[in-house]
Structure 1
Amino acid sequence: MDPVVVVHGGGASNISKDRKERVRQGMVRAATEGYNILKQGGTAVDAVEGAVTVLEDDPEFNAGRGSVLNVNGEVEMDASIMDGKDLSTGAVSAVRCIANPIKLARLVMEKTPHCFLTDQGAAKFAASMGIPEIPGEQLVTERSKKHLEKEKQEKGAQKADCQKNLGTVGAVALDSKGNVAYATSTGGIVNKMVGRVGDTPCVGSGGYADNDIGAISTTGHGESILKVNLARLTLFYVEQGKTLEEAANLSLGYMKSRLKGLGGLILLNKTGDWVVKWTSAAMPWAAAKDGKLHSGINLDETTIADLP
Structure 2
Amino acid sequence: MLVLKTLEAPFLQTQNTGACVEHTIVQIQKMDIKPVIVVHGGAWAIPDDLAESSKDGVRYAAKRGFSVLANGGGAVQAVECAVQMLENNPVFDAGHGAVLNAEGDVELDAIIMDGRNLAVGAVSCIKNIANPVMFARTVMEKASCSMLTGAGANKFAETMNIKLVPKEELVTELAIKEWEQYQKYKQSVTCLFNSEQMHDTVGAVAIDNEGNVACATSTGGITNKMVGRVGDCPIIGSGAYADNFTGAVSTTGHGESIMKVTLARLVLFNMEKGETPQDAADHALDYMVNKVNGRGGLITVSKTGEWTARFTTKRMAWASVKNNVLMYGLNPGEILNEVIHL
**Which residues in structure 2 correspond to 1:145-160 (within 5 Å)?**
145-155=176-186, 159-160=188-189
Percent of aligned pairs sharing the same letter:
51
Do the aligned partners of 1:166 and 1:221 also contact (CA within 8 Å) in 2?
no
Tell me which residue corresponds to 1:36: 67
Tell me which residue corresponds to 2:21: none
Q: Aligned Cα RMSD in Å? A: 1.1
Give the whole-Å Cα distance in 1 for the aligned partners of 2:337 and 2:182. 36
Structure 2 runs not aligned, ≥5 long: 1-32
Residue 190 of structure 2 is aligned to residue 161 of structure 1: yes
Give the whole-Å Cα distance in 2 for the aligned partners of 1:229 and 1:49. 22
Give the whole-Å Cα distance in 2 for the aligned partners of 1:296 and 1:252. 18
Tell me which residue corresponds to 2:103: 72
Do the aligned partners of 1:45 and 1:182 also contact (CA within 8 Å) in 2?
yes
The structure with the larger Rg is: 2
Higher strand share: 2
Do the aligned partners of 2:99 and 2:199 also contact (CA within 8 Å) in 1?
no
Q: Which amino acid aligns with 1:124?
A: K
Q: Which amino acid aligns with 2:39?
A: V
Q: Which amino acid aligns with 1:282?
A: R
Number of residue pairs aligned between Structure 1 and Structure 2: 305
Structure 1 runs not aligned, ≥5 long: none
Q: What is the Cα deviation at residue 154 of structure 1?
A: 2.3
Alpha-carbon displacement from aligned partner over 1:236-295 (angstroms, at most 9, x marks no partner): 010011111111111100110111110000010001000110000000000000010000
Give the whole-Å Cα distance in 1 for the aligned partners of 2:278 and 2:161. 42
**Which residues in structure 2 correspond to 1:200-215 (within 5 Å)?**
200-215=233-248
Q: What is the Cα deviation at residue 166 of structure 1?
A: 5.6
Q: What is the Cα deviation at residue 13 of structure 1?
A: 1.2
User: Which of 175, 187, 191 is the matching residue for 2:220?
Assistant: 187
Alpha-carbon displacement from aligned partner over 1:10-60 (angstroms, at most 9, x marks no partner): 0121322x3211111111110001100011111100000000000000000
Q: Where do 4+ consecutive residues of structure 1 move more than 4 Å?
A: none
Q: Which amino acid aligns with 1:108?
A: V
Alpha-carbon displacement from aligned partner over 1:210-257 (angstroms, at most 9, x marks no partner): 001000000000000000000001110100111111111111001101
Tell me which residue corresponds to 1:89: 120
Q: Which amino acid aligns with 1:160?
A: V
Give the whole-Å Cα distance in 1 for the aligned partners of 2:50 and 2:309. 21
Mean Cα deviation higher: 46-55 or 121-130: 121-130
User: Which of 119, 124, 149 is the matching residue for 2:150?
Assistant: 119
Q: Which amino acid aligns with 2:327?
A: H
Do the aligned partners of 2:320 and 2:327 also contact (CA within 8 Å) in 1?
yes
Residue 85 of structure 2 is aligned to residue 54 of structure 1: yes
